[in-house]
Chains A and B, each alone.
Chain A
Amino acid sequence: MRGAALPPALLCVALGLGLASARGQTAVLGLAVLVLTASAVALMPVPESWSDVAFLGCWMSIIASAAIVYAPRILQDRAALAFSLNAGVWTGALIALAPSKVGLLAALPFSLCAWPGAWVRRRGQAIGLNVIASWLIGVAVLAATLQFLPATAGYVPDHMD
């Protein structure tokens, strides 16, 4: 019971905060790449056996995307697009594994936090983004570690799944 929309939503938030440090045009292009990639991958058949890899990829991507917030320099165009493509792949993969594709509609809007993030950054209050990024990294590290626990009662399928 890992939740269908929560991990992709967290990844979209992390990417949105990361893109907040890119140029305006690049951020828009990055979000478009995210939406297109995620939609395309979500429609592809992803084997159930890839579930653990998809979740691990999602957590690693959250850590990487949220870490952009701490970079003092402006996010370069190519790097922004690469991060967006990566986030799109993992978001789409998780949605493809979920029983319903509706999670995509719930997750993708969270990437729009790039705009308030950019506004906050322009106001010189980037520390607020740093705090939120630290929370995201913390959650991702915890969730990734859970995958390596020998027995996680709430993590394995049960009669509710």
Chain B
Amino acid sequence: MTRCIAGTLRERSSALRPGRFSAATAMPIVFGAAAVTPAYGHSSTGLAGGFESGFSHPFTGVDHLLAMVSVGIWGAFLGRPLVYALPVIFPFIMVGGAILGMFSFPMPPLELGIAASVLVLGLCVCLAIQAPAWVACAIVAIFAVFHGYAHGIELPSAADPVGYSVGFVLATGLLHALGIGIGLLNALPKGILVTRSFGGAVAVAGAWYLARTLGL
């Protein structure tokens, strides 16, 4: 085994000598390194958990990502105090949803709720809906339950649940902050056009998710 590894290293080092290094030589190494993933047998049980896994989770699911950013943009449209209240309410309710998920509490179809959240939040941004505070809070809270539930199902099987929780709550908050940042474009000339167009694109994506979920 050791000889085999040593032999491979010799071959690689000879391939990396000046003059012999080429794109053809580099490509397998680069792609091989990129394809390396942690060995699941040694990442404890279940998911390869921890902060990194939890942090990356909201970024890897486009439906989650679009909904979180839309919450921030819609908050920016609604102004004070909702611009700050929505990013506070969302994590609280999301935690409630996560707890329901951890205990496998029966819920309406999860994918349907998440797809609907992308569609509705996209429409709220696209149409710049000036909802009353309680309506905005209720809409965000209902969808936060679905998003939290999705995280909660995975949480108990994470190798490091605390790190995973910190990661996904922080990532969610940062996505809201990103949305609020995008919402600041409203102050610029034609900025509203940009943000509302973004909302339209999110709504189209939400409609697509919804159609796919319903099997249309």
A141 CA to B148 CA, complexed, in Å: 13
Assess the B92–A153 pair: CB atoms within 8 A: no
Contact of A138 among B44, B45, B161, B169 (CB under 8 A): B169
A146 CA to B160 CA, complexed, in Å: 11
Q: Which A residues lie at the B interface, using CB under 8 A?
A: 1-3, 6-7, 10, 127, 130-131, 134-135, 137-139, 141-143, 145-146, 149, 151-155, 158, 160
Assess the B157–A154 pair: CB atoms within 8 A: yes
Assess the A142–B99 pair: CB atoms within 8 A: yes
One digit per residue, 1 when the CB lies within 8 angstroms of any chain A CB and 0 when it does not, for chain B 153-193 equals 00111111111011001100100000000000000000000
A3 CA to B95 CA, complexed, in Å: 21
Across the interface, which residues of A come within 8 angstroms of B92, CB to CB? Answer: 134, 137-138
Assess the B99–A154 pair: CB atoms within 8 A: no
Across the interface, which residues of A come within 8 angstroms of B142, CB to CB? Answer: none
Assess the A155–B173 pair: CB atoms within 8 A: no
| Closest A residue, CB atoms, query B51 | A6
A134 CA to B49 CA, complexed, in Å: 22
Instruction: Select the residue from A135, A138, A141 with max chain B CB neighbours within 10 A.
Output: A138
Assess the B161–A155 pair: CB atoms within 8 A: yes
Across the interface, which residues of A come within 8 angstroms of B162, CB to CB? Answer: 2-3, 6-7, 139, 143, 146
Contact of A143 among B42, B94, B157, B161 (CB under 8 A): B161
- B100 CB, min distance to chain A CBs, angstroms: 10
Assess the B46–A154 pair: CB atoms within 8 A: yes
Assess the A135–B91 pair: CB atoms within 8 A: yes
Across the interface, which residues of A come within 8 angstroms of B159, CB to CB? Answer: 1, 154, 160
- A136 CB, min distance to chain B CBs, angstroms: 9
| Closest B residue, CB atoms, query A157 | B44
Contact of A154 among B49, B91, B173 (CB under 8 A): B49
Across the interface, which residues of A come within 8 angstroms of B113, CB to CB? Answer: none
Interface size on B, residues (CB 8 A): 32
| Closest B residue, CB atoms, query A159 | B44
Assess the B88–A130 pair: CB atoms within 8 A: yes
Assess the B88–A3 pair: CB atoms within 8 A: no
Assess the B44–A152 pair: CB atoms within 8 A: no
Query: Can you list 18 contacts pairing A with B, beta carbon distance less than 8 Å?
Result: A2-B161, A2-B162, A3-B160, A3-B162, A134-B92, A139-B165, A141-B95, A142-B95, A142-B155, A142-B169, A145-B102, A152-B161, A153-B156, A153-B157, A154-B49, A154-B160, A155-B156, A158-B44
Across the interface, which residues of B come within 8 angstroms of A142, CB to CB? Answer: 95, 98-99, 152, 155, 161, 165, 169
A160 CA to B160 CA, complexed, in Å: 12
- B82 CB, min distance to chain A CBs, angstroms: 12
A154 CA to B95 CA, complexed, in Å: 19
B105 within 8 A of A: no
- B161 CB, min distance to chain A CBs, angstroms: 5
Instruction: Select the residue from A127, A135, A142 with max chain B CB neighbours within 10 A.
Output: A142
B21 within 8 A of A: no
From 98 to 134 in chain B, residues with beta carbon under 8 angstroms from any chain A beta carbon are: 98-99, 102-103
A141 CA to B97 CA, complexed, in Å: 12
B47 within 8 A of A: yes
Assess the B95–A2 pair: CB atoms within 8 A: no
Assess the A3–B163 pair: CB atoms within 8 A: yes
| Closest A residue, CB atoms, query B91 | A138
Across the interface, which residues of B come within 8 angstroms of A158, CB to CB? Answer: 44-45
| Closest A residue, CB atoms, query B166 | A139
A91 CA to B156 CA, complexed, in Å: 24
